[in-house]
Amino acid sequence: QTMSKMQRHQQEALWEFVYTELTFINKLLIIKDVRCHSLAAYSQLHYSFRVTPEQLFSNLPYILKAHQQFWQEVLYPMLQEARKTGKPFDPMRLEPGCLQFHKRFSSYHEYCWEEEDNLEFSRRQMENNPHFSTYVQWVENHPQGDRMRLGDMQAKPHQRITKYPLLLKAVLKHTQDPHVEQTLRCMLFSVNNFLERINDYLRLKDEQLALNISAQRLDGYEVDGLNEEIDRVKLIFFDLTCPIKGVSRRVVRKLLLEENLKVRGRKDSKLVALLFSDVLLLTKVQKKTERLKVVRPPLALDRIKLQECMPTFYCPALHNFPSSQWKCIIVHLSYVLSQLKRMFLLLASLCQWYVEQWKKASM
């Protein structure tokens, strides 16, 4: 049977899907057999060589198992059917595998989460562990190693999982049947949704790391009371890593802006303002440690009102306290006007940010 040009291109795209999957599985087998097994043997010979396969390749055996099952249950049956019947590849055969992508490849969450740590561990070992350098050199020159570097091997799984949307798009591009086209779009949506979850997973890790770094910069502090009423509030301890109230626990506090400020009427007039997603911290640099000490009670953004006091100054009025006498405690910020706009535009945009997070939490 003569195929049209469109059909030939579709079959080529499906063959690339099959061929690259099998090639990738073979590469994972090489990693497992040559790298991981030799790593265990090398560790037995050198007691000072304390490196485990998990420290280099995380949960790679689970990644391999997932791809082997995907091959056996989805791709190989499609290949077998084409060989037995002599008919072209049927793209509908991909449906059960792609629509269950998030279940089949859930092990990628852990692998991608630990990938950066594994790479960093390898770099440190290369610099400080002579036995590890010898091991890596042996592995990379192994005849079965296909000239693959250790870093390339560690990155292979993540690179492969991001190729599936491109493979499906190539098949979809050369598909004419409306029903098959619609099914392929559903497959593509499922795979893209899985990758978005992984990206969200990694983004959450980066945000948590950035928050921990910010928290480590802050010393424990005792706030000098502005008046007796504020003294009674005792806002002495503030944990930056605690969840934000009113939104999903998966929403991580972010440092939006850091600027130097001057506060009138104080000896230590040079402060550092840290604007987070839900709170403003006024801090002072400690000369000995270069860390930041909080010198004012944390200002909750939902209780701050900005008032224009003078042509070149803006004042956040504090509404944390019920007393009308202290309801407008003025903190003069001697910013240049352009710097002020950056902070207040961010403050104004937080309302929209909270709405979006609330919608995500309610989904």
| Whether the Cβ atoms of residue 159 and residue 150 lie closer than 8 Å to each other | no
Q: What is the 3-state secondary structure (H, E, C) of 320-354?
A: CCCCHHHCCCECCECCCHHHHHHHHHHHHHHHHHH
Per mean pLDDT, which of 39-48, 53-62, 213-222 is the most reliable? 53-62
More confident site: 300 or 188: 188
Q: What own/partner pairs with CB < 8 Å and gap ≥ 24 does 202-208 have?
A: 202/112, 202/113, 204/250, 204/252, 205/113, 207/252, 207/254, 208/241, 208/252
For the chain, the structural domain boundaries read 5-215, 228-362
Specify the CATH class of 228-362 in words. Answer: mainly beta
| Whether the Cβ atoms of residue 260 and residue 285 lie closer than 8 Å to each other | no
Specify the CATH class of 5-215 in words. Answer: mainly alpha
More confident site: 72 or 136: 72
The first and second tokens of residue 70, run together, are 């995907």
Whether 109 has a pLDDT exceeding 80, the answer reads yes
Predicted confidence at residue 298, as pLDDT, reads 80
User: What confidence tier does 193 reach under pLDDT thresholds 50, 70, 90?
Assistant: very high
Predicted confidence at residue 78, as pLDDT, reads 96
More confident site: 133 or 318: 133
User: What confidence tier does 309 reach under pLDDT thresholds 50, 70, 90?
Assistant: low
Closest by alpha carbon to 115, among 159, 146, 166?
159
The residue type found at 275 is: L
pLDDT tens digit sequence for 120-172 = 999 998 988 888 888 888 888 877 777 788 888 899 999 999 999 999 999 99
Q: What burial letters (b/e) apply to 311-335, b meaning 16+ CB within 10 Å?
A: eebbbbebbbbeeeebeebebbbeb
- Strands 304-310 and 270-276, bridge-based pairing: unpaired
More confident site: 62 or 248: 62
Sequence-distant (≥ 6) Cβ neighbours of residue 339 within 8 angstroms: 259
Least confident stretch, 46-55, 119-128, 139-148, 333-342: 333-342
The first and second tokens of residue 323, run together, are 């007393």
List, in sequence order, every residue forming a beta bridge with 333; answer none if it has no partner: 314
Average pLDDT over residues 93-105: 94
Whether 30 has a pLDDT exceeding 80, the answer reads yes
Q: Is 4 helix (H, G, I), strand (E, B) or coil?
A: coil
Q: Indicate the average pLDDT of the chain.
A: 78
Phi, psi of 258 (to 5 degrees): -130, 120
pLDDT tens digit sequence for 198-235 = 998 888 888 888 888 888 888 765 545 444 544 444 44
Rg (CA), the chain: 29
| Whether the Cβ atoms of residue 13 and residue 170 lie closer than 8 Å to each other | yes
More confident site: 312 or 126: 126
